[in-house]
Amino acid sequence: MNVLIIHGPNLNMLGYRDKKIYGSMTYEGLKEYISVYAKSKGMNTAFFQSNHEGELIDCIQESCHGDFDAIVINAGAYSHYSYAIRDALEICHFPKVEVHLSNVMQREDFRKTLVLSDVCDRTIYGLGPEGYLLALDFLLDKTHNV
């Protein structure tokens, strides 16, 4: 299974952002953490990060016609208001999981609105980097149970 892991704005700054909220793992460290786990489960991962909404949409659109079987996305702050990213995800007819490192339901009110969730098969938040591993487990379970 080929999984595309997409990160939105400011997630390239992990390790420099508030460590109490996001932990101390850097973006490079996170990619390593996810890909090592994926490999152990026989999955391949590819990563894309952008601070720009249009680039994220282009990446999602291209992935629909590419070699991918699933998407894991942490769109950062766009998760709370980007209907354009939501609509791009809706076009892709493979499994999609939304992940947030922090517990968005216990932070500022604006973070409680998640506009991508209804087009994703699952939303995972508040579990730190482990949330991505659960996302991969979910995708494996889902494809085995088809």
Task: Kindly list the residues in this chain that would bind ligand DQA in the complex (CB under 6 A).
Answer: 10-11, 74, 76-77, 79, 100-102, 104, 111
Minimum distance, C-beta of residue 51 to ligand DQA, in the bound complex (Å)? 10
Q: Containing H/E element for 88?
A: helix 83-91
* Distance separating alpha carbons of residues 75 and 11, to the nearest angstrom: 9
**Active-site residue flag, 100:** yes
Measured from the CB atom, the residue of 117 and 143 that comes closer to ligand DQA is 117
**Maximum separation of any 2 CA atoms in the chain, in Å:** 41
Catalytic residue among 7, 22, 27, 78: 22
Residue 98: which residues within 8 A CB-CB, separation 6 or more? 72, 73, 74, 75, 79, 114, 116, 117, 120, 122, 123, 124
- The least distance separating ligand DQA from the CB of residue 36, rounded to whole angstroms, comes to 20
Least gap, CB of 49 to ligand DQA (angstroms): 11
Closest CB to ligand DQA among residues 77, 91? 77
User: Catalytic site residues?
Assistant: 22, 100
